[in-house]
Structure 1
């Protein structure tokens, strides 16, 4: 198959259409004037978007998800950066075990983690605690940050670090002025992936949230089991639009190629 031949272009176009078609359909359904999930064949309406903003419980759940994703992604980054640098640059007993331990949440099904954390929280008497919810999300999203930090650290040219060290730079100065800027794209990309995964997490969150700490995905899941009106499509369309705007702004300000690929 030629890299840029007609067959390759057709294949890639079909893949893109296959991925975007469900999102387009959901966004179209959000504008339906009907009371059921249907395409707006008779005209467009904003009634379901208005219904979303009239629901205080959905707005509260959205706010919970934003706070939770931001705190969990930031905490995961604080853990992953020193862990990633230690795994890539130091030789110590248990290094491979530490690497596997940090990556294990990717392998273990979130359903199993959710049941285990539910039992743990019950034993500790912290069910419904937002702080412990943040810690639970941190556990499952840290591997995403760690993978990108390790990839960025492996690709760093250490000659600049060695030169600064030979000139008497302290370890903190070396990290702050040389190492950190060089691995920053990996850190930013990892934080972004962690934020998205935390915001979208539903399987684990069902077990460890309470009515006061209910996240938007959990709220949507519960609502979808009780109703089939298009309000869920409107919520989904708003989340899609918010994600798209965030990605565009990030691309304009920082560059998605630097964040996700690591180009300088």
Structure 2
């Protein structure tokens, strides 16, 4: 093991560099003062970041994505927590089917989901509705929340909850004061993963958005088909920054190590 240590370190360093290199290049290109995607650059400039905030379509799409991701992640929590409690604690007919049903969006390509939802909304006459767009994102992100909730519940010591019930606490009181705080890292981690996946979702959203509900990834795709300039790099850098800040806040509040250990 010690002889292979340097080799393993070099290998993992190369893999990490390979994964991070595109993100680093995008962030560097975002600060170029040139009119084209160029690296190395002659200097650093905030020109394209100012252009993003001055572009009304991008600002509107950004807030659409924020509201969409927030609502989708929150409603996914409302679905995943009761489902996780039922699946992890009770045995009933259809339990395995219920678990597979909730997790099935993970194995269905988003392109297929997008076409299916487009056809469904056309039949229902609901094309272009923001509420239906939220519903599609809930379906896509709920599996991420459910997996973390199940992981948190599987390692939960129920003695404190049983003691509370013995002392007269009702089911809701025991859940609110005992169970929920103990599985909070899993819930919060699931919410964050759901938010990020909803905020970055493109493939399915292309089929179910309307001119009034265009999300930021869809707006970026539409803009990239018309023009190639560093504005796309600036928007991508802002999205990377939002994700990094969210992960940092989660780590400071609950600790990513606790969430990741619970997921395993």
**For this structure pair, what is the TM-score category when the shorter chain's length is used for normalisation?**
over 0.9
- Name the structure 2 match of 1:98: 98
Cα deviation, 1:99-120, whole Å, max 9, x if unaligned, reads: 0110111111111110110011
The Cα RMSD (Å) is 1.7
Task: State the secondary structure of the residue aligned to 1:85.
Answer: helix
Describe the superposition over 1:18-48 as per-residue Cα deviations: whole angstroms up to 9, x where unpaired: 1111010001111112221111432122221
Which residue is equivalent to 1:235? 235
The 8 Å contact of residues 189 and 250 in structure 2, kept in 1 or not, is answered as no
* Structure 1 segments unaligned to the other structure (5+ residues): none
SS at structure 1 position matched to 2:183: helix
Q: Is the 2:128–2:209 contact (alpha carbons within 8 Å) kept by the matching residues of 1?
A: yes
Q: How does 1:1-264 map to 2 (within 5 A)?
A: 1-2=1-2, 5-262=5-262
What's the secondary structure of 1:34's corresponding residue?
Answer: coil
Are the equivalent residues in 2 in contact too, given 1:185–1:260 (CA < 8 A)? no
Deviation at 1:50, TM superposition (A): 1.4
Closer, same or farther: CA 253–3 of 1 in aligned 2, 3 Å: farther
Check 1:2–1:168 CA distance in 2 against 1; reply closer, same or farther (3 A cut): farther
Q: Secondary structure at the match of 2:64?
A: helix
Change (3 A) 1:114 1:197: same
What is the distance in 2 between the residues matched to 1:185 and 1:90? Answer: 22
The normalised TM-score by structure 2 is 0.95
Does structure 2 retain, via aligned residues, the 8 Å contact 1:31–1:40? Answer: no
Question: 1:251 & 1:93 partners in 2: Cα distance?
Answer: 39
String of CA shifts for 1:124-150, please: whole Å, max 9, x gaps.
111110011000100011000001111
SS at match of 1:128: coil
Contact kept? 1:26, 1:237, Cα under 8 Å? yes
Q: Structure 1 CA distance, aligned partners of 2:6 and 2:150?
A: 37
CA distance in 1, matches of 2:201, 2:261: 24
Residue by residue over 1:81-108, the C-alpha shift from the partner in whole angstroms, topping out at 9 and shown as x without a partner, is: 0000100101111000000110111111
**Preserved CA contact (<8 Å) 1:105 1:140:** yes
Distance in 1, matches of 2:68 and 2:227, equals: 26
Rate the CA distance shift 1:3–1:118 in 2: closer, same or farther, 3 A: farther
- Which secondary structure does the structure 2 equivalent of 1:127 belong to? coil
Q: Distance in 2 between matches of 1:245 and 1:122?
A: 38
What displacement does 1:8 show?
2.2
For the residue of structure 1 that corresponds to 2:91, the secondary structure is coil
The offset of 1:51, in angstroms, is: 1.1
The 3-state SS of whatever aligns with 1:203 is: coil
Output the CA distance in 2 between the equivalents of 1:54 and 1:39. Answer: 24
